[in-house]
C-alpha cells in the first residue's frame, strides 16, 4: 500500500487518483471536518483506509511491512497563516517523524517542499541542496520558512551520513493549478479565481505592481499543471534507481498573470477585460515578482517527460473541469 498524507488536499488527491488508476492500494491520512469540498476530492477513489493524523503513528507501526511508499503532502499551506507554533507542529514535526520512520524501515518517501523556500529569488531558483546555498535562502513567510527548515534537516542528515529512506525526494512545487483545489479558499490558484471572476462579473482584476521593474499584471510566475507534479512524484516514488534529492517541479517558463488571464478568456471564447487593483497591505514586502524553476537537475536525474505548456494546461483545466458538470477528478 501507499500512504498519502494530505491525501484529500489538492496535490495529494491527484496523486491518490493516479495511484488508484494504476491499481495500487491507497491509504489517505487527513482531516475532513465540515469542508464540503475535500471529501469530494476523494469521492471516486478506492481506499484501503482513511486515517486521521493523530492515529498515524499507530497505523504506521501496525502496517509497516505492507507500506511500499509514503507521499507526504500534508501541511498548513496557506502563505498568510501567522500562528507559527501551529505551522511548526504540522509542517516540521510530522515531516521529521515520517523521515525517521521511513529511514528506519526502508520505505521510499516523497515530500512536498515549496518554491516559497526561495523567498524573493535573490539567489535564483536552483534546486541545490548544499548547506552553503540553503543557508542563504530567506523565505518571505512562515509557511516557506517551515518547508525550508525541513529541507535543511534532510540536507544535514545526508551530509552526516545518517540513515535515509532508500529513495527520497523533496519536491519544490512552484505555482500549481488544476482540479481538486477548490477547498483552498483565497489560496486557490489564479486560474480558478480568474475563471470565477469572468463567469461572475465578465472581467478580472489583477494586482497592480509596486515594483518599478514590473508593469501592472506583468508579475511573472512559473505556473505548473498538477498532472506534471503527479508525474514527478510517482517517478521519484516508484522508479527503481531514481536519484534521491531536492527537485524543482515547475514548467521551467515564467509567464505573467496577464498572460494567464488572456488564456482563460480565450478558453472561454471571450474578449479579455482586465482591471487592476492595489496590492494588499499584508502582501507588501512579502510578494514574489518573479519565479522560474530550473529543471536541469531533475532532467539530469533521469526524469524526461516534457512540461505541459500554460496554454495546454489551462485549456484542459477550463474545458475538462471548470466548465464541466463535475469539476472533481
13 φ, ψ (degrees, to nearest 5) = -70, -30
* Distance, CA of 266 to CA of 226 (rounded, Å): 21
- Strands 168-173, 274-277: pairing is unpaired
Catalytic residue among 157, 184, 208, 286: 184
Helices 56-63 and 94-105: crossing angle, nearest 10°? 10
- Residue corresponding to grid cell 508525474: 231
Catalytic residue among 2, 111, 118, 143: 143
Longest dimension (CA), the chain: 58
* Distance, CA of 306 to CA of 106 (rounded, Å): 31
| Closest alpha carbon to 71 in 182, 230, 211, 181 | 230
In this structure, what C-alpha cell is assigned to residue 73?
A: 503532502
143 carries an active-site annotation: yes
290 carries an active-site annotation: no
The residues assigned a catalytic role are: 143, 184
Amino acid at each position: 500500500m501507499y500512504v498519502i498524507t494530505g491525501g484529500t488536499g489538492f496535490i495529494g488527491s491527484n496523486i491518490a487518483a493516479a495511484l488508484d488508476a494504476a491499481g495500487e492500494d491507497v491509504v489517505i491520512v487527513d482531516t475532513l471536518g465540515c469542508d464540503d469540498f475535500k471529501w469530494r476530492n476523494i469521492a471516486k477513489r478506492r481506499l484501503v483506509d482513511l486515517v486521521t493524523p493523530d492515529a498515524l503513528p499507530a497505523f504506521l507501526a501496525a502496517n509497516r511491512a505492507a507500506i511500499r511508499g509514503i507521499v507526504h503532502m500534508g501541511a498548513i499551506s496557506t502563505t498568510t497563516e501567522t500562528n507559527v507554533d501551529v505551522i511548526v507542529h504540522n509542517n516540521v514535526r510530522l515531516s521529521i517523524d515520517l523521515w525517521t520512520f521511513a529511514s528506519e524501515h526502508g520505505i521510499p518517501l516523497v515530500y512536498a517542499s515549496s518554491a516559497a523556500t526561495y523567498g524573493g529569488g535573490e539567489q535564483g531558483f536552483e534546486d541545490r541542496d548544499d548547506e552553503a546555498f540553503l543557508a542563504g535562502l530567506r523565505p518571505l513567510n512562515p509557511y516557506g520558512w517551515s518547508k525550508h527548515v525541513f529541507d535543511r534537516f534532510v540536507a544535514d542528515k545526508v551530509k552526516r551520513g545518517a540513515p535515509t529512506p532508500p529513495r527520497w525526494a523533496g519536491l519544490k512545487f512552484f505555482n500549481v493549478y488544476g482540479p481538486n483545489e477548490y477547498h483552498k479558499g483565497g489560496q486557490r490558484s489564479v486560474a480558478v479565481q480568474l475563471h470565477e471572476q469572468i463567469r461572475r462579473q465578465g472581467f478580472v482584476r489583477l494586482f497592480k505592481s509596486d515594483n518599478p521593474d514590473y508593469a501592472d499584471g506583468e508579475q511573472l510566475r512559473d505556473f505548473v499543471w498538477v498532472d506534471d507534479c503527479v508525474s514527478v512524484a510517482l517517478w521519484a516514488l516508484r522508479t527503481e534507481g531514481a536519484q534521491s534529492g531536492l527537485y524543482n517541479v515547475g514548467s521551467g517558463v515564467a509567464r505573467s498573470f496577464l498572460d494567464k488571464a488572456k488564456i482563460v478568456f480565450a478558453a472561454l471564447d471571450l474578449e479579455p477585460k482586465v482591471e487592476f487593483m492595489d496590492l494588499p497591505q499584508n502582501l507588501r514586502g512579502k510578494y514574489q515578482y518573479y519565479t522560474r524553476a530550473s529543471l536541469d537537475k531533475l532532467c539530469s536525474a533521469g526524469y524526461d517527460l516534457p512540461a505541459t505548456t500554460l496554454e495546454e494546461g489551462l485549456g484542459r483545466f477550463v474545458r475538462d473541469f471548470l466548465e464541466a458538470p463535475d469539476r472533481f477528478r
